[in-house]
Structure 1
């Protein structure tokens, strides 16, 4: 078994593997969404720190693109398969019947949840998890794309906002609009100083937020405020 699945508190690991669709059919247990939130934050921080120290001559823009690629859905789904999370995920029958074990969105979300749970299981010691996560990054970083893509739309929009408006961060408001529990659909809006600058839909919160950022960038280009 992979070290990332070695827990002192087995209940914590079980929660990390438990998707909301499973809870709907098995009331009384806890799903993994809060752990997913924590894992996402940890992965973002560790990937930034990793790139900063591994590539001392790399510029901010390139580090931002690399970081986005290291922790995007596609890459995290690959990490999940390396750990063997796919068939360990606890899914509802409907999600399983529709191919949930092979769903990259579910795989990546579960990987984030397991990372968050592992951090808690190790007394919130980030140094206990850093070497483990960086081993994934070491294997993935040579293949991370160096060209600009839709992946870093949120970072590009944030950079434009801070360079043009000042030290303010775009705010994303995301709501679920439909879809089954194993493939929910979301609508996201990105706001700056309370004004909606873009919106987008996606099968996950992150995807919807990226689409909203892309929409904001497209609007800026249409207004002649941003070059292609």
Structure 2
């Protein structure tokens, strides 16, 4: 059963006047098809609504990621920005974002979700995040700037910084971590890693 109030809290959005948008975003087509109270036509309509809001969120998220990287990371070069965007819009990252803020706990993903293979669960979770982005955008009357600011502050800044940190730790030998890199960390608002980090696997989302 979906829990819109829980999801609003997780999204840090106090008021959601068009709650039906959240209800659409939080109800996966598998759950819709399992609802025997709906006629086949109603199931089809609700599935189309879900797919539409998820596609909207996907397009918005991709554009907002591009805008964020242009504004904040263009000094790193086009190759790095391309790599960052590839990571940020991947189902793996979106699924981790969904789990990080427990969106899955406030949604209905269908009875068979736990039985799906990992790659299918990842796809379901990534679509859920995109659908929620679409719902937020529509709730705010298609205000791109407001939605972008919310997305950047709540999600993008932290994820981009962690990806950069992970790349640094992976590709720069610990022996080369010296004062020459401190300005780079400062300019990107990153915390300088200790050499102990080199022997540890880093998590994309540090709590």
TM-score range, shorter chain: 0.5 to 0.7
Distance 1:99 1:110, change over 3 A: same
Partner of 1:19: 28
* CA offsets 1:82-134 (integer angstroms, 9 cap, x no match): 3321122212222345589x922211110000001110111000112112211
Report if the CA contact (8 A) 1:4-1:115 is conserved.
Answer: no
Q: Larger Rg: 1 or 2?
A: 2
List 4+ stretches of structure 1 deviating above 3 A.
3-6, 96-100
Counterpart CA distance in 2 for 1:52 and 1:83 is: 26
- Picking from 4, 9, 15, the partner of 2:18 is 9
Over aligned residue pairs, what C-alpha RMSD do you find? 2.4
Structure ranking higher on relative contact order (CA contacts 8 Å, 6+ apart): 2
Report if the CA contact (8 A) 1:66-1:146 is conserved.
Answer: no
**Alignment size in residue pairs:** 146
Name which of structure 1's ranges 87-96 and 126-135 shifts more when overlaid on structure 2. Answer: 87-96
Give the TM-score of the pair, scaled to structure 2.
0.63
- Picking from 148, 169, 172, the partner of 1:130 is 148
Higher helix share: 2
Distance 1:94 1:55, change over 3 A: closer
Give the TM-score of the pair, scaled to structure 1.
0.58
Distance 1:4 1:38, change over 3 A: farther
- Unaligned segments of structure 1, at least 5 residues: 148-228
- Unaligned segments of structure 2, at least 5 residues: 1-8, 169-207
Counterpart CA distance in 2 for 1:139 and 1:77 is: 16
Higher strand share: 1
Report if the CA contact (8 A) 1:22-1:90 is conserved.
Answer: yes
Counterpart CA distance in 2 for 1:74 and 1:33 is: 19
